[in-house]
Chain A
């Protein structure tokens, strides 16, 4: 594949792409209404033709791997198929061309959709109240912890610590800090679950909450969940559940039934809204009744047959989004849930879990399996056997690229040496999984017979491995105009 120049390099003075609308009014000269000191003298944007812009971005797109290209088993990210009907509904003019400040009387359909989606998510998780305002999982976490702090405060309690298992995603401790809490790391027990003894010792009167991921980032369901919840509640603290992995639980268990107090959902994972090359997502927050007064505002409420925005509430943690969250993604998630229904959702969880266990059973002869038990929607393998041959997990990942498969999440969870975190999702077929298994086995053989093949990989991608050291030592993060340019 050839190098693609920067869009700036396709620029030629005087060339233009699209034309702006025909003038509707006699032009007003900006210099007549704004002080000349406020007007810029140059605007260093590219000048390119429409066809060149189209081809440039099309050629760039060809350098990407995507779910629609081939398997993308990126653990923790739930790269399932994004149904195309979602893209159709999200582009319905009545759901796209509507303004956040238009009066509720003229946006009843949008408000109804949010209200109904919150109700559907409540049914699926078992929590009585849901807010779809958070823009992504991490923002949901922030809302969750702030709600918990507000609840403690409402009971005249000051608590300053949050417990986070060492297997947690990095965003959990980072959210703890943003919530002004001291983050205390909990070690993982030998079976991959929470170490109850350690939990007991850590649960002092200063602990506001525990953030646990269910199923955990190891792909394991916490067998001692009942004891964990009981201990945490007995200490006056709250149980926050990172629900990034809800895909494993759809129709199989409602997290609220387990005694969890608050949980976020990643609609861009479980509920199929596309990942967009990094976003946007949507991070709904679901809570038990005692935390509902603290949910972010404004909230959508139903009054008889109409929908409205509730009056500001004195207990709410406040707003976290300019408006009502990533509405376009709420439309997609709503479409997905309505398309699948209860049975379809449960089937999704079942197939996601079966697919992961099929990979576990099929690959455990060739790769180390640090936690050898039934997994949920993802399986964590370790490249430790290969490391002894001088091959690192990074090399295995890069070799997968040569076979046209996106590598799994690697080196996470950080407590697993040489981790390979594989999440096939329910939308991969048995044939696709068999191909993956075959490729992974071949790579295991190559690690034994021809390790340099792995060290040199990838060779079939648009570029080979990159010089990240220079990228970090001397960051070049934008095109710097040449002088006279």
Chain B
């Protein structure tokens, strides 16, 4: 079964036009001994059966309906208005490709321009691209940009930046002359954890191309970044800010106003459910001086021959199809459909909606912390936080999480040993506007039982 419409009669007529006897004759350039292998694949399934099969696979996974979930760490369950998916199912959006022919792609191009505008407004930056793969590769590309710009070898990166993003940055720079220095930007004091800005400030020197911090950081903390920005400025280093939860931008001072040169982040939460971690969309925004170093597509506004407003891919000389080995990046396909979802979502939520869900997320997290404390937990985070905080699990995060799930039927959070072994007794708990009072009760009850 394929989706090919041609009949055998069509094929026969076409073969006559081509002037060959059979389709086999079209494959003669393939070495004969390797032609026509037998593929060992399961039999084809009609639509009904494939849906049933995938439904069965899906049923083996627990959704947030099955288990109250306090998982965050970059992928948050936020309210995505119903109209978003209705739009994303429109063929004109999802079965088009990169708008190489602008006259036939004004919809995609204008939506890109609106996306770029919304990102700039949210982050306080001046230029946004049309997306990179995810938050992690966006950070890696930011580091590569700073390396090319400053020609300095060192990168100072806070340990409180998403650990998977740090890993991806390590991979992306592994073949290049880059020295990534991870700085312990949070310190332990008994059961608690608090920011340690001094260690970051001290690590920045004249060989530092950029300093990378996250806001809210991976532990949920909102840290005063001013001393870091000042130190970077003193040494001529750039400041890269990773946005934790994009919804936090509804409430927090935008990184552009804090002095960021580059802002990156993961936008999945604005466009749809977590989808096991992908497809997401990497946000990438810069101050205008860096515009010609930006990786990836950018839409620009212009006019057509009649002077009518229109949009087009612009500054393409940065990209691989023109600059080849000297391009700003190899990225080609990006995450356009996810950014379209984010654009529609932000448009429908609007100024008030985004602020409200940000406030509700903050509210839910602080209630969850209070409820946990009431159940005997020690809240480890000793700093202001937005919608995520750490709880102390003296017997170890992994063991406690396991019991909370098995005995309490909750996904209580993320084991923070992924940040550092120093944090293997901490659990990262996230809440959003979709967290209900009964979810929080379930969490507190489970905690009390699992002690």
Interface members, chain A 434-485 (any B CB < 8 Å): 458, 461-468, 470-472, 475-479, 481
Which among B61, B332, B354 is the interface contact of A106 at CB below 8 angstroms?
B61
Which among A28, A62, A138, A322 is the interface contact of B165 at CB below 8 angstroms?
A322
Query: Inside 8 A of B149's CB, which chain A residues have their CB?
Result: none
Which among B5, B280, B297, B314 is the interface contact of A278 at CB below 8 angstroms?
B297
Interchain CB contact under 8 A, A429 and B276? no
Which among B61, B97, B103, B319 is the interface contact of A461 at CB below 8 angstroms?
B103
- Chain A, interface SS category: loop
Choose among B81, B170, B320, B323 the residue with the greatest number of A CB atoms under 10 Å from its CB: B320
Query: Inside 8 A of A318's CB, which chain B residues have their CB?
Result: 167-168, 170-171, 174
**CB of A313 closer than 8 Å to a CB of B:** no
Which among A7, A110, A257 is the interface contact of B61 at CB below 8 angstroms?
A110
Query: Inside 8 A of A231's CB, which chain B residues have their CB?
Result: none
Interface members, chain A 218-246 (any B CB < 8 Å): 220-223, 225-226
Interchain CB contact under 8 A, B324 and A173? yes
One of A197-205, A285-293, A326-334, A383-391 at the interface? A326-334
- Taken together as a complex, chains A and B put the C-alpha atoms of A3 and B311 apart, in Å, by 11
Interchain CB contact under 8 A, A39 and B253? yes
Query: Inside 8 A of A348's CB, which chain B residues have their CB?
Result: 2-4
Interchain CB contact under 8 A, B333 and A123? no
Q: What distance in Å separates the Cβ of A57 from its nearest Cβ neighbour in chain B? A: 5
Which among B37, B95, B136 is the interface contact of A321 at CB below 8 angstroms?
B136
**CB of A96 closer than 8 Å to a CB of B:** yes
- Assuming the contacts A175-B330, A258-B34, A322-B136, asked whether A60 and B110 have C-beta atoms less than 8 A apart, the reply is yes
Interface members, chain A 6-34 (any B CB < 8 Å): 6-8, 11, 15-21, 23-28, 30, 33-34
**CB of B50 closer than 8 Å to a CB of A:** yes
**CB of B186 closer than 8 Å to a CB of A:** no
**CB of A302 closer than 8 Å to a CB of B:** no
**CB of B45 closer than 8 Å to a CB of A:** yes
Q: What distance in Å separates the Cβ of B10 from its nearest Cβ neighbour in chain A? A: 4
Q: Mark interface residues in A128-157 (1 if CB within 8 Å of B CB, else 0).
A: 000000011111011001100100000000
Interchain CB contact under 8 A, A64 and B104? yes
Interchain CB contact under 8 A, A77 and B306? no
**CB of A303 closer than 8 Å to a CB of B:** no
**CB of B284 closer than 8 Å to a CB of A:** no
Which among B18, B121, B435 is the interface contact of A44 at CB below 8 angstroms?
B121
| Total of A-B residue pairs, C-beta within 8 Å | 708
Query: Inside 8 A of A344's CB, which chain B residues have their CB?
Result: 1-2, 44
Query: Inside 8 A of B329's CB, which chain A residues have their CB?
Result: 174, 178
The residue in chain A whose Cβ has the minimal distance to the Cβ of B165 is A322
- Assuming the contacts A61-B92, A276-B93, asked whether A95 and B312 have C-beta atoms less than 8 A apart, the reply is no
Q: Mark interface residues in A344-366 (1 if CB within 8 Å of B CB, else 0).
A: 11111011011101101110000
The residue in chain B whose Cβ has the minimal distance to the Cβ of A329 is B279
Q: What distance in Å separates the Cβ of B11 from its nearest Cβ neighbour in chain A? A: 6
Interchain CB contact under 8 A, B39 and A123? yes
The residue in chain A whose Cβ has the minimal distance to the Cβ of B168 is A319
One of B203-211, B232-240, B336-344, B372-380 at the interface? B336-344
**CB of A412 closer than 8 Å to a CB of B:** yes
**CB of B399 closer than 8 Å to a CB of A:** no
The residue in chain B whose Cβ has the minimal distance to the Cβ of A248 is B27
Q: Mark interface residues in A31-51 (1 if CB within 8 Å of B CB, else 0).
A: 001110111100111111010
Q: Mark interface residues in B331-371 (1 if CB within 8 Å of A CB, else 0).
A: 11111111010011011111111111101101110110000
Which among A38, A45, A92, A124 is the interface contact of B54 at CB below 8 angstroms?
A92
Interface members, chain A 89-104 (any B CB < 8 Å): 89, 91-103
Interchain CB contact under 8 A, A358 and B117? no
Q: What distance in Å separates the Cβ of A198 from its nearest Cβ neighbour in chain B? A: 18
Interchain CB contact under 8 A, B44 and A173? no
One of B127-135, B151-159, B188-196 at the interface? B127-135
Query: Inside 8 A of A63's CB, which chain B residues have their CB?
Result: 105-107, 110
**CB of A183 closer than 8 Å to a CB of B:** yes
Interchain CB contact under 8 A, A171 and B332? yes
- Taken together as a complex, chains A and B put the C-alpha atoms of A299 and B131 apart, in Å, by 26
Interface size, chain B (Cβ < 8 Å): 212
The residue in chain A whose Cβ has the minimal distance to the Cβ of B5 is A429
- Taken together as a complex, chains A and B put the C-alpha atoms of A340 and B172 apart, in Å, by 36
Interchain CB contact under 8 A, A135 and B348? no
- Taken together as a complex, chains A and B put the C-alpha atoms of A257 and B369 apart, in Å, by 58
**CB of B449 closer than 8 Å to a CB of A:** no
Query: Inside 8 A of B19's CB, which chain A residues have their CB?
Result: 361
Interchain CB contact under 8 A, B171 and A16? no
- Taken together as a complex, chains A and B put the C-alpha atoms of A254 and B336 apart, in Å, by 32
Q: What distance in Å separates the Cβ of B359 from its nearest Cβ neighbour in chain A? A: 6
- Taken together as a complex, chains A and B put the C-alpha atoms of A339 and B398 apart, in Å, by 40
Which among A27, A43, A88 is the interface contact of B51 at CB below 8 angstroms?
A88
Interchain CB contact under 8 A, A33 and B362? yes
Interchain CB contact under 8 A, A85 and B168? no
**CB of A392 closer than 8 Å to a CB of B:** no
Q: Mark interface residues in B274-297 (1 if CB within 8 Å of A CB, else 0).
A: 111111110000000001000001
- Assuming the contacts A53-B83, A341-B41, A477-B314, asked whether A102 and B62 have C-beta atoms less than 8 A apart, the reply is yes
- Taken together as a complex, chains A and B put the C-alpha atoms of A427 and B4 apart, in Å, by 4
- Assuming the contacts A220-B29, A475-B314, asked whether A44 and B351 have C-beta atoms less than 8 A apart, the reply is yes
- Taken together as a complex, chains A and B put the C-alpha atoms of A171 and B305 apart, in Å, by 32
Q: What distance in Å separates the Cβ of A310 from its nearest Cβ neighbour in chain B? A: 15
Q: What distance in Å separates the Cβ of A402 from its nearest Cβ neighbour in chain B? A: 9
Choose among B62, B251, B332 the residue with the greatest number of A CB atoms under 10 Å from its CB: B332
**CB of B74 closer than 8 Å to a CB of A:** yes
**CB of A82 closer than 8 Å to a CB of B:** yes
Q: What distance in Å separates the Cβ of A169 from its nearest Cβ neighbour in chain B? A: 8
Interchain CB contact under 8 A, A28 and B367? yes
Query: Inside 8 A of B273's CB, which chain A residues have their CB?
Result: 96-98
- Assuming the contacts A93-B65, A254-B34, A278-B99, asked whether A64 and B108 have C-beta atoms less than 8 A apart, the reply is yes
The residue in chain A whose Cβ has the minimal distance to the Cβ of B101 is A407
Interchain CB contact under 8 A, A281 and B314? no
- Taken together as a complex, chains A and B put the C-alpha atoms of A107 and B176 apart, in Å, by 36
Interchain CB contact under 8 A, A17 and B347? yes
Interchain CB contact under 8 A, A89 and B359? no
**CB of A343 closer than 8 Å to a CB of B:** yes
Query: Inside 8 A of B310's CB, which chain A residues have their CB?
Result: 463, 466
Interchain CB contact under 8 A, B36 and A62? no
Query: Inside 8 A of A361's CB, which chain B residues have their CB?
Result: 17-19
**CB of A67 closer than 8 Å to a CB of B:** yes
Interchain CB contact under 8 A, A280 and B2? no
Which among B89, B315, B354 is the interface contact of A87 at CB below 8 angstroms?
B89
Q: What distance in Å separates the Cβ of A223 from its nearest Cβ neighbour in chain B? A: 5
- Taken together as a complex, chains A and B put the C-alpha atoms of A145 and B433 apart, in Å, by 43
Interchain CB contact under 8 A, A46 and B347? yes
- Taken together as a complex, chains A and B put the C-alpha atoms of A207 and B138 apart, in Å, by 30
**CB of B422 closer than 8 Å to a CB of A:** no
Q: Mark interface residues in A293-335 (1 if CB within 8 Å of B CB, else 0).
A: 0001000000000000000000001111111111111010011
- Taken together as a complex, chains A and B put the C-alpha atoms of A96 and B65 apart, in Å, by 12
**CB of B201 closer than 8 Å to a CB of A:** no
Which among B3, B34, B302, B321 is the interface contact of A412 at CB below 8 angstroms?
B321
Query: Inside 8 A of B118's CB, which chain A residues have their CB?
Result: 45
Interchain CB contact under 8 A, B39 and A477? no
Query: Inside 8 A of B28's CB, which chain A residues have their CB?
Result: 374
- Taken together as a complex, chains A and B put the C-alpha atoms of A329 and B280 apart, in Å, by 11
Interchain CB contact under 8 A, B30 and A66? no
Query: Inside 8 A of B250's CB, which chain A residues have their CB?
Result: 43
- Taken together as a complex, chains A and B put the C-alpha atoms of A54 and B84 apart, in Å, by 9
Which among B106, B337, B350 is the interface contact of A48 at CB below 8 angstroms?
B350
Q: A56-B347, A358-B18 are in contact. List 11 more A-B contacts (CB 8 A).
A: A34-B252, A61-B92, A64-B93, A94-B57, A101-B73, A113-B57, A170-B320, A251-B37, A275-B333, A326-B279, A477-B128
Closest 5 CB pairs between A and B?
A94-B58, A323-B277, A341-B44, A100-B277, A276-B337
Jot down 14 A-B pairs with beta carbons below 8 A, ordered by A: A11-B350, A26-B363, A43-B351, A94-B55, A135-B335, A177-B326, A252-B27, A277-B99, A318-B171, A322-B165, A323-B278, A353-B23, A463-B102, A463-B106
